[in-house]
Amino acid sequence: MAAGESVVTQEDYRQNAVNCLQLADEAIDPAIRMGLIDMAHAWLSLAEEAERVWSKEGSEPATLDVPFSGGMGSEDERTPEQSK
């Protein structure tokens, strides 16, 4: 595995969805809130698709090596607009 890559699991996708929902709960702007909720739905869809693929192929999540930055990034990586 190259530097900056890690194994992505269904749980990672689900945790990203939770992170989006937590940020949406704190968002003041309705458009940002809806965007984060939509993003959470997308993460959950990815988790469901990964589950289907892994169960169909009989492979384990550990067989998928893809670049992964942890989803939402750290606060230091966010723009001022994203930090609101």
23 domain-assigned: yes
pLDDT, tens digit, for every residue of 23-79?
999 999 999 999 999 999 999 999 999 888 877 766 655 444 444 444 444 444 444
80 domain-assigned: no
pTM of the complete model: 0.62
67 domain-assigned: no
What's the number of domains the chain is made of? 1
50 domain-assigned: yes
pLDDT given at position 28: 96
15 domain-assigned: yes
Give the structural domain span for 25. Answer: 8-56
DSSP class of residue 71 equals S
C-alpha separations of 9 from 4, 16, 18 in Å: 16, 11, 15
CA neighbor of 43 nearest in space, from 60, 61, 19 = 19
